[in-house]
Structure 1
């Protein structure tokens, strides 16, 4: 399965070519055209639970609720999603920069042990561009992220830990959106033959996502460009949701 792109973004990419071909079609008509020809990205509401928060490890407070980051490497969000293979479920741990939407670290394996998330975090730390800046690490209250082996490593590397305060995927909306993007736009939703192939597909998907996928929220920059240039305009965010505040750390 190749890369899939949302209809509005596809229209933005194609409108110049359509104009050159004298094709007169507005965005709404273009979306109707895609729908009538079954070309819209399909959404699947089924999900697989990857969070076990019923444990006795210490749970940290939510430091970032309703707050927007103002620079790269100010806030990292983490999550685990599942990848289906013919041999059973695999699990993908991600560490994403909430400002630039760049995936900083990841790990895919056939288990959900703490080392899965720990390896993703180690990769993210190795990929930092601004190592002297203060950084918040935000996650759900899953046992992997609350495990002292994980939290102690994070704090040893000068990360301030923050966690969701209830099981609600919308509290970690950035991470949830990245999961869906990788699955629905880059082929990771399909059932893959085995773990080895899933790892190769994941590596390619994340490289393509970081370097070539543009975002409306990034002024149509790619995550890599936004991470380096830090050029996000937050006017639309504040206009649509006046409850949001800027994160200060």
Structure 2
């Protein structure tokens, strides 16, 4: 704001600018500090993009996608690994940790398998090429239980996006965006335990209330139209 006023010919300092902004209830929007993931090791092997942007699946527990996001607390960062089913669009598995490593990604898949018991021999798991998903730990785990891995091409956001959409409409991005805008961004978390409690309660809401309501509204409007 100060630079704009100076450019317009008003010689004014930082503190005077702040005082005037306060009087007229103008708040400066500061960019959030960018988060950098810690080094979690070197990638072991990249899988081919077998999903090939086919995000509209009809049968549940045959195509899953996974990703990791971060949540700030007063004690540091918490990390959420989620697994989403491309047919039901529900979050079928998840895991939270203070460390964004391969074990976090593996625990999320294990959680999904324990909850839904899919035929892993007919299951494809799609992710980006992050070190958590391309690590030897996760590759060995998927091979052991016969899960087929698929990975988007590096630097190609369209591989994680439904046909004709933008990156922001990607299925997992949509869940993460909803989680943060509707639940997490309005709160300040003291520790990891508070994050776990809030994330798990939102996942229940997202799966069984929000998605069900959206489905009901869509069908009601379709029938009425």
Pick the aligned partner of 2:206 from 209, 224, 232: 209
2:45 is matched with: 58
2:194 is matched with: 197
RCO higher in 1 or 2 (8 Å CA, sep ≥ 6)?
1
Instruction: Trace 1:164-203 onto structure 2 (pairs within 5 A).
Output: 164-172=152-160, 173-187=170-184, 190-203=187-200
Deviations 1:99-121 (A, max 9, x none): 11111111111111111111111
SS in 2 for 1:178: helix
Q: Report if the CA contact (8 A) 1:114-1:145 is conserved.
A: yes
Deviations 1:65-100 (A, max 9, x none): 231212111210000000111112211111111111
Moved over 2 A (4+): 44-56, 129-133, 167-172, 186-191, 218-221
Distance 1:130 1:213, change over 3 A: same
Pick the aligned partner of 2:141 from 136, 145, 153: 153
Deviation, structure 1 residue 191: 3.2
* 5+ residue gaps, structure 1: 1-43, 222-230, 232-249
Q: How many residues align?
A: 179
Distance 1:73 1:58, change over 3 A: same
RMSD: 3.0
Pick the aligned partner of 2:119 from 131, 137, 156: 131
Distance 1:52 1:140, change over 3 A: farther
Q: Distance in 2 between matches of 1:131 and 1:51?
A: 34
2:79 is matched with: 91
Instruction: Trace 1:39-50 onto structure 2 (pairs within 5 A).
Output: 48-50=35-37
Rg larger in structure: 2
Deviations 1:115-138 (A, max 9, x none): 111111110111125437711100
2:68 is matched with: 80
Q: Report if the CA contact (8 A) 1:83-1:188 is conserved.
A: no
Deviations 1:135-155 (A, max 9, x none): 110011111111111111112
